[in-house]
Chains A and B, each alone.
Chain A
């Protein structure tokens, strides 16, 4: 099972409602994935600043880190606490120093996402509860992807929840199960990548990261995954400017897309889309198997 939702706004007027719309979509997919949930939201950016999403064992542990990171960055870091996650904005030139500081003074805190615009939140629990813990409903932005997980391949943990980051401003969510993930993981470990879980989707994310590190574009990396990843999957990848969709050639895992003048949406089921504004008049279709789709801001 598992549920995926994605929403890409064409109409700027809807941007303040992004979180609210996606929270509703995610809640509808609770019964496809009640174990855990996560989402990536693409919000504002600032010149020469990188946004880091940190996850810690408690809000206090993250809070304690803020002054140290501001010191390292040499400037206030605009901290926003959301339950077990903290987002900060640091000068791009200081990113490495800030990451080093986090690793040195709070090894229990992990950087779960980085980019100009992307913020990633994920936790164990019912998706609607997870969404309200992070106050998703009040987030704004241009696009977001979300995932509700019913674990099949590995344990129900926060690290095993989606999205998985694949690079700056990039993340992946997956519905399905890969059958050759152990072999692919071994190859990727030899290539220098490291993995935190036994999760098959983390391997898919690592695979895309590796392919792009080797010089492929995201689209070409997805295309290559058709050859190298064996199993069932619908992937949705978030990028700074939009999102992409790929279904495996057998296409067992359901997927529906809808588009209006104001937005493009992805749902594992149509149920996830029913409350979007103007959905009754939307163009609706099922993505073709083995075909890479992208929606990007012009």
Chain B
């Protein structure tokens, strides 16, 4: 395992070393100490390695991630795992706004709460939040799954396209064109798969969730919907 202490090593050196990893690299385990809220820690990785970060990180941690597993033992600032393509990002604490923004794939797991705009414009990423999510979560979400074990803030799924939203608690309100939909077997299977992937195994009953998605009324311009655009 390679350990990088950001109290002494420059962040750019860490990220440059991570960016230069070849797919066949033997340096598969990394540990990062003293991130002290730094921005863009372990962003832009394109290799199947595992990185454990000990402490709180700032903006855009593990952004654009491809193949890597990034574990943050702490809280993360705005835009954690934004634009993730694949792999897994696991935050043991809370995350700030826009977690998983525009993510195309992979899994973002948050053990604490997520703030506003979690999963904004998500495009295929799966997000599992053990706590609650803030207002405007899944705003303009296009594809992927957002699973929330707690509650959701105001205007959940505003202007949503085809993403699936599962909430165990209750949303404060639903955004424009977001409606509750029936939870069918295929959705229960999906939920089980996502909860298993987030290591929540048997402790959560999928029947407790409600599903939300798009009413598909705002896809095309219609004069009657003018007030909702």
Number of interface residues of A (CB under 8 A): 15
Q: How large is the interface on B (under 10, 10 to 19, 20 to 34, 35 or more residues)?
A: 10 to 19
- The reply on B56 being an interface residue by CB < 8 A is yes
Would you call A216 an interface residue if the criterion is a C-beta within 8 Å of the partner chain's C-beta atoms? no
For B135, list chain A residues within 8 Å (CB).
Answer: 251, 289
Which of A274, A285, A286 is close to B37, meaning CB atoms less than 8 Å apart? A274
Task: Establish whether residues B58 and A271, one from each chain, have CB atoms under 8 Å apart when the complex forms.
Answer: yes
The answer to whether B97 touches A285, judged by C-beta atoms less than 8 angstroms apart, is no
> Which B66-112 residues have C-beta < 8 A from chain A?
75, 77-78, 94, 96-97
What's the count of A-B pairs with C-beta under 8 Å?
40
B189 at the interface (CB under 8 A from A): no
- Determine the chain A residues whose CB is within 8 A of the CB of B134 once the complex forms: 251, 289
Q: Which residues of A contact B (CB under 8 A)?
A: 250-252, 254, 256, 269-274, 284-286, 289
A-binding residues in B (CB < 8 A): 36-38, 56, 58-59, 75, 77-78, 94, 96-97, 115-116, 134-135
Query: Is there contact, CB below 8 Å, between B116 and A254?
Result: no
23 chain-A/chain-B pairs, Cβ below 8 angstroms: A251-B97, A251-B116, A251-B134, A251-B135, A252-B97, A254-B96, A254-B97, A256-B96, A269-B58, A269-B59, A269-B77, A270-B37, A270-B77, A271-B36, A271-B38, A274-B37, A284-B75, A284-B94, A285-B94, A286-B94, A286-B96, A289-B116, A289-B135
Given contacts A250-B116, A256-B96, 5 further A-B contacts (CB under 8 A): A251-B116, A254-B77, A269-B77, A271-B37, A274-B37
CA distance A212 to B94 in the complex (A): 37
Closest Cβ of chain B to A164, distance in Å, is 27
Tell me the smallest distance from the CB of A120 to a CB of chain B, in Å.
28
Across-interface contacts of A274 in B (CB, < 8 A): 36-37
A272 to B38, CA, bound (A): 11
How far is A207 from B143 in the complex, measured between Cα atoms in Å?
A: 44
Report the bound CA distance from A256 to B36 in whole Å: 14
Residue of B75, B77, B94, B115 with highest tally of chain A CB at under 10 A: B115
How far apart sit A269 and B116, CA to CA, in the bound complex (Å)?
16
Residues of A near B36 (CB, < 8 A) are 271, 274
Most interface-central of B37, B59, B135 (chain A CB within 10 A)? B37
A270 touches B97 (CB 8 A): no
CB distance from B176 to the nearest CB of A (A): 16
What 9 pairs across the A-B complex have the smallest Cβ distances? A271-B37, A270-B37, A274-B36, A286-B115, A270-B56, A251-B116, A269-B58, A274-B37, A269-B37
